[in-house]
Structure 1
Amino acid sequence: MGHWSFLVLVVVIAALAFDFTNGFHDTANAMATSVATGALPPRVAVVISGALNLVGAFLSTEVAKTISGGIVDDTLVTPWMIFAGLVGAIVWNLLTWLFGLPSSSSHALFGGLIGAVWVGAGVKGVHFTEVTEKILIPAVASPVVAGVVAMVATYLAYVITRRGREREVTRGFRFGQVASASLVSLAHGTNDAQKTMGVITLTLISAGILSHGSGPPWWVVLLAGMAIALGTYAGGWRIIRTMGKGLADIQSPQGFAAETASTTVILASSHLGFALSTTQVCSGGILGAGIGRRLAEVRWGVAGRMALAWVFTLPAAAVVGGVSAAVAKQGTAGIVVICLAAVAVAVAIYTISRRDPVTAGNVNDQPTAPVVPATTAA
């Protein structure tokens, strides 16, 4: 059996730091439409979402197993490779948060790990068949499925309630949004918290602390759930604004339809062990809900920028992870250099963000970035 070392401890801390960024980066997935429509006050929304992310972390470990023994060869991976991959994921998460782009934290993690392992162990260290089947194909299919389901659900919701009083209909769907947004948060915990569990488990396997093929220990599940819950409570208001106000003109029936469609897709994928992007699923649901309402405004310029971020996330994080791995494999000095560089980047990004702060108080203001509106009728 192996033993705990300073490097293993550093990797576990970095994994939990990534989990925290995942939380505030992805709070918008569950709560953006509820905040935008007024179904939930912003602060109440993040409290509910954080608590349910924690609960969701305990419901399944299938995705964690996909990461710890699926996309990379755990017999070739070392803790410093995992550390380098985490740095790539964290840097990309912070950068896209700065610009309010709801990119995939999941794909940032996968990209960082793939780049780091490729540099550290060679191409044989990456299971590209597994990457294609359980990451790339779901990445393409899941937002389309969620979008189509949300579009149909939105259309039916307006057809069924067209003779009802607008105020009563809105109130009813707002109550429904509280339930559906809560389910998205629960589903997010079952999918995204597991990714950090998988990374920590992979680290423990690579250090010889756990045997090959092991699942995450209970304390790993607990720490990962707590980290993503705390990150969720932090808010991630910049991305909530983009998804709630910048992507489409959303009313309560649309918000309910989008959240319900997203929950269905995420929970089904978690059960099957598909490590998909909850961001892409929820964004697809919001777009589908926008298209599904007659005369709703869908801002295709914002959608286009989001799509570009999705395309570049995995390769960009892989490049940062690969560069970090090339430095980290030089030994302790390389690890220290990467740590200092990552901290400097994080501080710089946070400093820049304070020039145009987005908070719970102004989250429902329209984004200042230019958008290209298009009107779509169902």
Structure 2
Amino acid sequence: MVTTLLVAVVALALIFDYTNGFHDAANSIATIVSTKVLTPFQAVLLAAVFNFAAYFFIKDHKVANTVAKIVVEQYITLHVILAGLIAAITWNLATWWFGIPSSSSHTLIGGFAGAGITNALYLGAPALSAVNAHYILTIVAYIVLAPFIGLIMAYIITILILHICKRARPAVAERWFKRLQLVSAAMLSFAHGTNDAQKVMGILYVALIASKVINSGAPMPEWVPLACYSAISLGTMSGGWKIVKTMGSKITKITPLEGVAAETAGALTLFMTERLAIPVSTTHTITGSIIGVGLTKRVSAVRWGVTINLVWAWIITIPISALIAGLVFVLIHVIG
């Protein structure tokens, strides 16, 4: 029974990773598509290749370790993980369908935490005893900090570029920035892979511990990162065109120069947070970067109505995912 359930959990985790890929493909390719530097197919191919390239360079999996510690080990069961994954996939697909660039990362974290809390209540323990407050508070803090850091970095990078290139001929500058955008989009796709694939690695790692396949503290089996990077890359190949439209054109109009600035800022923010072992949202980060680029022109260049709707999606993602996971966990026990 445990083996069958574990197989189901692994399959659902990789399905979530796949949905993360096509849901978050927009993060790394929206600007390069909207500036017409690449066609949509060329863009997703570039993003998928660099999503997977992270597998060969990132070996310490700090973000995965953080995700694995969100729920206290004694409350982690395969049913908790199963409920969290079902909730995360459900919310991911719903937001993708409506073209809302919510965070796949926070969906997964909210689902995992919500199922853990429900399990604690089911066992008669205090709800919050199921989660490690330090990790949850850090993640919640970076809902605000990650886009703000991206915004500030994009603003500074854009101003620096404009200053350096103030004497350049516009046609020559645009040609060079179209080439540079290939580099910045590749950087952002690589950073997306390093941060987002690791979240599912953390879930699979605790699933293997919960099912007694490995002991707590044991090294992560090599097939876990290989499977996660493969799934997210395949998902990216599937694209996410509704979200591409929102990210690439509805927040602010993007030029190749601004695309380079936004993608570079987003990538640097993700590299920094990965080193700090903080599972941040790629969606939030690049959105903040795009806003930062828009602010260099004027405040009204940013379509604040669209931005406010995005912020509301960010705010409700964790609690709604947690609620869905709790309901699924109860349903599993009722059926079981």
Give the paired residue count: 328
Query: Which residue is 2:124 aligned to?
Result: none
Q: 1:74-89 alignment to 2 at 5 Å?
A: 74-89=73-88
Change (3 A) 1:40 1:296: farther
Q: Provide the C-alpha distance between the structure 2 equivalents of 1:228 and 1:211, rounded to a whole number of angstroms.
A: 27
- When you count helix as a share of all residues, which structure comes out higher? 2
RMSD of equivalent CA atoms: 1.5
Give the 3-state SS of the residue equivalent to 1:212 in structure 2.
Answer: coil
What is the aligned partner in structure 2 of residue 367 from structure 1? none
Cα deviation, residue 5, structure 1: 1.0
Give the 5 Å matches for 1:23-62.
Answer: 23-58=21-56, 59-60=58-59, 61-62=61-62
Instruction: For residue 213 of structure 2, give the secondary structure of its aligned residue in structure 1.
Output: coil
Residue matched to 1:129: 134
Query: Cα deviation per residue 1:242-266 (whole Å; 9 max; x = unaligned)?
Result: 0001111111111100111111110
Cα distance in 1 for residues equivalent to 2:162 and 2:323? 46
The normalised TM-score by structure 1 is 0.84
Q: Output the amino acid matched with 1:106.
A: S
AA matched with 2:222: W
Structure 1: which 4+ aligned runs deviate by more than 4 Å?
none
Answering whether residue 155 of structure 2 is matched by residue 156 of structure 1, we say no
CA offset digits 1:3-49 (Å, max 9, x no partner): 96111110110100100110001011111101111122210110111
Does the CA contact (< 8 Å) of 1:198 and 1:216 recur in 2?
no
Residue 84 of structure 1 deviates from its aligned partner by 0.3
Measured after TM superposition, the shift of residue 132 of structure 1 is 0.6
Return the offset for 1:213: 2.5
Task: Report 1:46-195 matches (<5 A).
Answer: 46-58=44-56, 59-60=58-59, 61-68=61-68, 70-122=69-121, 123=127, 124-133=129-138, 135-195=139-199
Alpha-carbon offset, residue 164 of structure 1: 1.6
Superposition deviation, residue 166 in structure 1: 1.2
Distance 1:80 1:284, change over 3 A: same
Name the amino acid aligned to 2:235: G
Q: How does 1:314-353 map to 2 (within 5 A)?
A: 314-330=318-334, 333-334=335-336
Matches within 5 A, 1:177-256: 177-256=181-260
CA distance 1:305–1:295, change in 2 (3 Å) = closer
CA contact (8 A) 1:254 1:293 kept: no
- TM-score when scaled to structure 2? 0.94
Query: Relative contact order, CA 8 A, sep 6+: which one is greater?
Result: 2
Between the aligned partners of 2:216 and 2:74, the Cα distance in structure 1 is: 8
Q: CA deviation at 1:294?
A: 5.1
Q: Is the Cα contact below 8 Å between 1:247 and 1:303 reproduced in 2?
A: yes
Contact 1:258 1:286 in 2 (8 A): yes
Matches for 1:295-306 after TM superposition, within 5 Å: 297-306=301-310
Equivalents in 1 of 2:39, 2:219: separation in Å? 38
How far the C-alpha of 1:295 sits from its partner, in A, is 8.1
Runs of at least 5 residues in structure 1 that lack an aligned partner in the other structure: 335-378
**Distance in 1 of aligned mates of 2:145 and 2:49:** 29
Matched letter for residue 85 of structure 1: G
Q: CA deviation at 1:129?
A: 2.1
Secondary structure at the aligned position of 1:57 is classed as: helix
Residues 53 and 188 in structure 1, CA contact (< 8 A), matched pair in contact too: yes
Measure the CA separation in 1 of the matches of 2:288 and 2:191.
16
